[in-house]
Structure 1
Amino acid sequence: MRAIVIGSTKHFLFALGYGLLGILAAALFGAVWTLNDRPELEPWHTTKLNNEYHQQLGFIGFDEYLHLEQRLFSELNSLTQAWTFEQTHFNSAINRYDSQSLSSPDRASINWNRSYEWKNEHAEFGVILVHGMSDSPYALSHFAEHLKPKAHVLGLRLPGHGTLPSGLTSITWPDLASAVNLATKHMKQQLNGKPLYVIGFSTGAALALNHELENIDQGKDTDYQAMVMLSPAIGLKPIAAFAKWQASLGQVLGQDKLMWNSIENEYDPYKYQSFAVNAGDVVYQLSLRNQQLLKGFSADQKAALPQTLAFQSVVDDTVSTQAVIEHLYLELSNANNNIQGEGATQIQHELVLFDVNRARGYQQWLLYDPLTTLNSLMYGQVEGLNVALQAPLNFQLTIVENTRNLENPRVFYSKVQARQVSTLNPKVDKVQTLDLSWPRGVHSLSHVSLPYPADDAVYGVKKFSDEDLIDSAEINIGGHIHLGERGIFSIPAEDMLRQKWNPFYDYMLSRIDELVAQ
């Protein structure tokens, strides 16, 4: 009897095991089939450029980096001139690699896909601008133009960027960090003791942070007077941890499409639309390194970090807003900031959050209130938008939000204010009414919108007449929102509807001007 029971149990376990393996195999096959059932890879996805920078090259000077970049773009031009765009299923009228298309970066007077340096013999300070993953130096060009009259400006092209999306398949975060190190060393030599600032967007912000964390970890002096961060990549969604497994599976199965999260029409002259799985893993590994360093630092080490001013939308589909608070600002809060009050020193670090548009006609369309989670992270008690402090915040928190009806605080207007949240009592918040409003039809900012003003030629808002649509000499992405049947446009609807420009850009400029004037 006992033998019968044991035998039956073994058979059951074998059957269960085979069943689970069958389910796993079917799920794996389904996932691979779904991921592989996408547009065919084009030459810009598969061609590897030979003159891209990697840290193993051992460069010691930024001039070497620029010389290699010159060879890289010569190689790129030779390749693209030989491509026949009639053979691709992608629309060549808006393909950035077709020199005759509206999206060709050659239409601009400056090649914003390349590094640039604007020297100024009367410079009061220097600034390095570091763009984000899949972007180009164009992303921060408006800040460069604004600061140029009083600064020595360097806009850095990160390795793998500004050329072909295939460049994202082989880069590592140390490659990117090494390029930032070369640029920083160069600027320190050029400035001869003048202060050096850094403005970083998304991954660029994480790289700037990493540069200083590594300096502190090695017992070196920090290099930046202050750091400005836009949509900083401090943490990503949990699914980012599985990115490398998808890429590895693609290599094992010989399915190159699995090495891509998205395969899209390259219609943007300054940003890749196709996104390699490796690129997501690079940002993820960089964020883990930064978190590891910061959590392991002593209070004195944290106190050595330069002044940090970050701008972040409360809704961000690319990076985690919660991580900016939890893994950066709350880590710094007990280090080098003293609470407000008698005898207190100036708060050094500041986080500016851009709230969603809560004006009537907008708020009811929201799936959730993004401030609820953030408030619960920073405060102990949450009552709608009125919060009570559990413990003092030792960094300055500013929220750019709708103004309200004083008699009925739940009635919001389109005009906005900047509210500095008191670290002692919410009732004494400092409020500054801004000469800015939410534009009609804009519900929120997005991860990608922060660096661009409304009048940006590519990503800004622009009203088109019939003549403009016919005679347009270059692409405008921010102003093209078209209505029609599903499936007829070459640009996905979710990309078309994503906010591309920042209606509060001027406020950001004013805050940066205040920072460099200190």
Structure 2
Amino acid sequence: MLYLLRKASKLILLIIIVIGLTLLVGRLLELRSFPDLELWHTYTPKEMSIAELDQANWRDFIQAETQVFEAVRTEVTDKLPAHAQTPFNRYYTKGSIYPASFKTDWNRSYVLEPNGKPKGAVVLLHGLTDSPYSMRNIAQRYAAHGFAAVVIRLPGHGTVPAGLTNVGWEDWMAATRLAVREAKRLAPADLPLHLVGYSNGGALAVKYATDALENPALARPDRLILLSPMIGVTRFARFAGVAGWPAVLPAFAKATWLSVVPEFNPFKYNSFPVNGARQSYRLTEALQAQIAELATNGKLNDIAPITTFQSLLDFTVSTPAIVSALYAHLPENGSELMLFDANRSINFNPLLRPSTEMALSEMLPSTPKQYQISVVGNDASEKNSLNTVLRTFAPGATTASQRQLDIQYPADIFSLSHIAVPFPMDDPLYGVNPRKDEYFGIQLGTLAPRGERGALMVSMDFITRMSANPFYPLMLERIETDIHNPKPPKGKASERRAPAVAPKLDPKEFLRLTEPQAADQI
């Protein structure tokens, strides 16, 4: 018997070794397809440490940030080799997308102050590989309504992709705390404090709010608004660090990266390091554990209302995790989850994955919930209609009310995406119909090239992925509702909400109306 156990153990060990070697060889072959690393992949600017961030004020941070950008100019921009001096390289001073050549370099931190005394303050946190540019539309709207808006550049972002190779999520949290301190300085006393977070910034916003429940020294936010929040990530992120193991050998320095791509976006990195995925996983693990613990001991009952806007289809973060790891634990405090459904007026069934069919039904409440769920989708009462409706399950309800929207689902768009949610359709960089008052050297939302596969240096995902939100006006309307009620009173949501007056839909009828159907079945 002992002999058989030893033999089985050796066999299992051999299988593990073979699998490991196979994965290693596959990874090394993948690295051969990567282009050579450039200066922006190898130079890492020195950011403030966690201790420095926790001791700094806003002026200190801006001074340090200026030094970081000056260092990038010296070590990268001024040393560009001839082959990298191309019009669509964001680090080429004479290029059309060089950020410093624009009236405002939206890679940098900024504060928008309202006319007159602030009515409140809001901290806006951008996503991973992103920059403060992605938060400017919402920041401007808050400022227009009398809020002081603080938009901080999170460490490792806005400069060079290599900045993300040695940063930790704890650095981002320290920067978040600094931004909140500045927000409270601008709007002190009992004025309302909001946090707005996009993707990775959404996780940071929730983490700050949960930290504030345990640390009385932290100012508690009165509302949280999340856009495509990174509450959970794919299983791949858990093991992303393994992909970087070959980088311990100098010959395999490219293993530090999951993708090496030309940097043609002035306000977002295209290349993505292994450490970025690793930190996103570490952050979500810490956040989920903290939420579960606070829910168990009852402290989560004091968390601020959370309003979330999420594409039903999201390849970057886990949409179900938003419910299972966050909303399922929330008290009845006025929180809402708004989902943007796929475009079901067009029969994409042969092209869409089977999981897409079930995605919506899995998110809808089969039992009463403590929060409100809203779904934006096609008006299925009309055959192949591009008209849309907003269907809403109020807290505690299992039937939906319905509101007709004055927005059509674009016929050539089958869904939103993770990156589309924060941007209006007329955004000058990401919009499908960019407005003309600003131009950043490229209009990424309008690119629609056709040709032979394998010819482009970038994945087609960079070009075909939806980058703007046709339902942005509705989202903004909902955000403004929170702005006008910036500091909700304590108590149950049912005590603070106006009664629904829209017609009710049975849940089964709701699902029937939102399921894609063949033309002869409609």
TM range (shorter): 0.7 to 0.9
Give the match's secondary structure for 2:121: strand
Contact 1:318–1:447 under 8 Å retained in 2? yes
**How far apart in 2 are the matches of 1:417 and 1:15?**
58
Q: For the residues of structure 1 that align with 2:71 and 2:12, how far apart are their CA atoms?
A: 56
Amino acid at match of 1:439: P
CA positional deviation for 1:488: 2.8
SS of residue paired to 1:441: coil
CA distance in 1, matches of 2:258, 2:403: 42
- Structure 2 Cα separation of the partners of residues 160 and 104 of structure 1: 19
Give 1:165 shift. Answer: 0.2
State the partner residue of 1:313.
Answer: 311
1:413 equivalenced with 2:385 (yes/no): yes
Aligned residue in 1 for 2:240: 243
| Partner deviation per Cα, 1:154-189 (whole Å, 9 max, x = no partner) | 111000000000000010011000000011012112
Who is 1:30 aligned against? 26
Q: Which moved more, 1:218-227 or 1:292-301?
A: 218-227
Does residue 138 of structure 2 align to residue 138 of structure 1?
no
Q: Does 1:48 align with 2:44?
A: yes
- Aligned mates of 1:9, 1:440 — CA distance in 2: 61
Q: Secondary structure at the match of 1:317?
A: coil
Alignment partners' CA distance in 2, 1:319 and 1:105: 28
Q: 1:395 to 1:484 in 2, by over 3 A?
A: same
Number of the residue aligned with 1:450: 421
1:293 aligns with 2:269: no
Provide the C-alpha distance between the structure 2 equivalents of 1:482 and 1:453, rounded to a whole number of angstroms. Answer: 22
Whether 2:86 is the aligned partner of 1:92: answer: yes
How much identity, in percent, do the aligned residues show?
28
**Mapped pair 1:124 → 2:90:** no
Q: Which residue of 2 aligns with 1:329?
A: 327
Which residue in 2 is equivalent to 1:368?
A: 354
Instruction: Give, in whole Å, the separation in 1 of the partners of 2:250 and 2:329.
Output: 42
Partners of 1:181 and 1:221 in 2: how far apart? 8
Specify every segment of 5 or more residues in structure 2 that has no aligned partner in the other structure, as ranges. 486-522
The one-letter amino acid of 1:303's match is N
Alignment of 1:64-83 (within 5 A): 64-83=60-79
Q: RMSD of the alignment, in Å?
A: 2.7
Q: Deviations over 1:241-274 (max 9, x none)?
A: 1122222342257521111110001000000000
Deviation at 1:413, TM superposition (A): 1.3
**Alignment-derived partner of residue 378 in structure 2:** 402
Q: Distance in 2 between matches of 1:399 and 1:15?
A: 52
Structure 2 counterpart of 1:493, from 437, 460, 472? 460
AA in 1 matched with 2:426: D
Maintained 8 Å contact 2:431/2:467: yes
Give how far 1:377 is off.
5.7
Distance 1:491 1:14 in 2: 43
The answer on whether the counterparts of 2:369 and 2:397 sit within 8 Å (CA) in structure 1 is: no
Q: 2:187 is matched with which residue: 182, 191, 199?
A: 191
Residue type of the partner of 1:127? V
CA offsets 1:348-388 (integer angstroms, 9 cap, x no match): 11000000000034455322253624533654xxxxxxxxx
Contact conserved, 1:232 with 1:319, CA < 8 A, in 2?
A: yes
Q: 2:230 aligns with which of 218, 228, 233?
A: 233
Q: Distance in 2 between matches of 1:14 and 1:173?
A: 40
Alpha-carbon distance in 2 for matches of 1:515, 1:20: 53
Cα 1:42–1:401, aligned 2, differ >3 Å: closer, same or farther? same
- Secondary structure (helix, strand or coil) at the match of 2:148 reads strand
What amino acid is aligned across from residue 352 of structure 1 in structure 2?
M
Structure 2 SS opposite 1:92: coil
Specify the code of the residue in structure 2 equivalent to 1:506.
Answer: P
Structure 1 counterpart of 2:258, from 248, 258, 261: 261
State the distance in 1 between where 2:127 and 2:388 align. Answer: 28
Superposition pairs for residues 400-479 of structure 1, below 5 Å?
400-405=376-381, 411-423=383-395, 426-427=398-399, 429-462=400-433, 474-479=441-446
Hey, what does 2:270 align to over in structure 1?
273
Counterpart residue number, 1:382 = none
Flag the 1:108–1:363 CA change in 2: closer, same or farther, 3 A. Answer: farther
Residue 201 of structure 1: CA displacement? 0.3
The more displaced of 240-249 and 349-358 is 240-249
Distance 1:254 1:438, change over 3 A: same
What's the CA shift string for 1:390-440, capped at 9, x where partnerless? Answer: x2111100001111226xxxx44111111112455544x221111111112
Q: Distance in 2 between the 1:16 and 1:307 partners?
A: 50
Contact 1:404/1:412 (<8 A) preserved: yes
| Change beyond 3 A, Cα 1:95–1:17 | same
| Partner Cα separation in structure 2 for residue 248 and residue 62 of structure 1 | 38
Q: Distance in 2 between matches of 1:67 and 1:183?
A: 15
Taking the aligned partners of 2:255 and 2:389, their CA distance within structure 1 comes to 45
Residue aligning to 2:517: none
Go from structure 1 to structure 2 and tell me whether the alpha carbon gap of 1:125 and 1:361 turns closer, same or farther (over 3 Å shift): same
Tell me the TM-score normalised to structure 1 length: 0.86
> Counterpart in 2 of 1:151?
147
| Aligned-partner Cα distance in 2 for 1:9–1:290 | 41
Which residue does the alignment assign to 1:343? none
Please tell me the residue identity of whatever aligns with 1:115: S
| Matches of 1:46 and 1:502, distance apart in 2 | 35
When residues 11 and 206 of structure 1 are mapped into structure 2, their CA distance, relative to the original with a 3 A threshold, is closer
SS in 1 for 2:151: strand
CA distance 1:377–1:485, change in 2 (3 Å): closer
Distance 2:100 2:207 in 1: 33
Change (3 A) 1:361 1:19: closer
Q: Does 1:505 align with 2:433?
A: no
> In 1, distance between residues paired with 2:324 and 2:7?
50
Helix, strand or coil: the match of 1:122? coil
TM-score by length of 2: 0.85
The question of whether the paired residues in 2 share the 8 Å contact of 1:107 and 1:474 is answered with: no
> Against the structure 1 CA distance between its residues 361 and 30, is the aligned structure 2 distance closer, same or farther, given a 3 Å change threshold?
closer
Superposed CA deviations along residues 107-132 of structure 1, whole A, max 9, x for unmatched, are: 42111000001223332221111100
Distance 2:344 2:380 in 1: 10
SS of equivalent to 2:239:
helix
Post-superposition shift, 1:209? 0.6
